[in-house]
Amino acid sequence: MILVTGGAGFIGANFVLDWLAEAGEPVVNLDKLTYAGNMENLAALADDGRHIFVRGDIGDRVLLDGLLAQHQPRAIVHFAAESHVDRSIHGPGEFIRTNIEGTFTLLEAVRAHWGGLAEAERHDFRFLHVSTDEVYGSLGPRDAPFAETNAYQPNSPYSASKAASDHLVRAYHHTYGLPTLTTNCSNNYGAYQFPEKLIPLVIANALAGKPLPIYGDGMNVRDWLYVGDHCAAIRAVLTRGRTGETYNIGGWNEMPNLVIVKTICALLDELRPDAAGPRERLIAFVKDRPGHDRRYAIDARKIERELGWRPTETFETGIRKTVRWYLEHQDWVAHVQSGAYRDWVEKNYGARQ
């Protein structure tokens, strides 16, 4: 049995589905079901006895103690986090509560549980913390990609809160001996991603004939990682990673945002043509967001060297799978585009026109 936090969100749900398909080991899935947590992501597991869903907050110590005592998980995979930079700019408080205070509460509960295990179980136990490349800050055009040894230089409330949680996890390993692992990944994309993030937002807007908002000049560069590859990497780290270590997970796919948007437009034009013409006509440049990091890039050689993991999807194959998934799951998209979601999009992008 493993315990997954945030397993109804985008990456967490993909991981739970992947884990049960590949490993088959039962999962206790703890998720608060905030705006980005969606039980429809887990609909395929509705009758699967290996999946135990619990709605709850990682900041609830009593709940955590009860779950750990009842299910005795051999590992924790910690996804639960607020993760959208723009939301952190508008309202940083929730990012501090969830990403820092929530991770602290979880670490305290797990430390108490782990301390009571028999010696062999303590030795085999793992706490895997899933984080982001944004903790490293921003790169110049010719800078080397982020390695695990890079200094932390977070530039948004979101990345600062994740950096703090990374430091807490590291401290619990070095101070208390808790067998932790940390992964820092690049931008994920794929099925079940909430449509506030670039790729699903562009797909949804393009299909609806709405403007495709691009910050600044569109030349901010990101490394793109297909979520299925990310799930495989996490399985590798959990199984074979060295405790106390950090592993960067990247897709080896650096690309400017403008190229991403044009690629999606071309795929949609191919797969679902628009009588009004090519969808690039919908591209709209909007005022850049504060503190917008110019470039991220991940050096993923350590995980390949030590654990034998490397992404299997190129951006070309991964983005085609992703666009097809959204075209084939328009009911899912319609359900997540609630009134609250439309209010958020207007709040975030409306003033930038």
Catalytic residues: 133-134, 158
DSSP state letter for 102: I
Q: Are the C-beta atoms of 174 and 100 separated by less than 8 Å?
A: no
Distances (CA, A) of 135 to 96, 298, 332: 15, 12, 31
SS3 32: coil
CA distances (Å), origin 265, targets 62, 167, 254, 318: 48, 40, 19, 15
Q: Which residues contact 313 (CB under 8 A, 6 or more apart)?
A: 226, 228, 229, 251, 321
Q: How far is CA 276 from the centre of its chain?
A: 35
Rounded distance, CA 31 to CA 56, Å? 6
61 in Cβ contact with 109 (< 8 Å): yes
Can you read off the two tokens belonging to residue 313?
A: 């999807």
Nearest to 136 by CA among 163, 157, 161, 103: 163
Contact 184, 171 (CB under 8 A): no
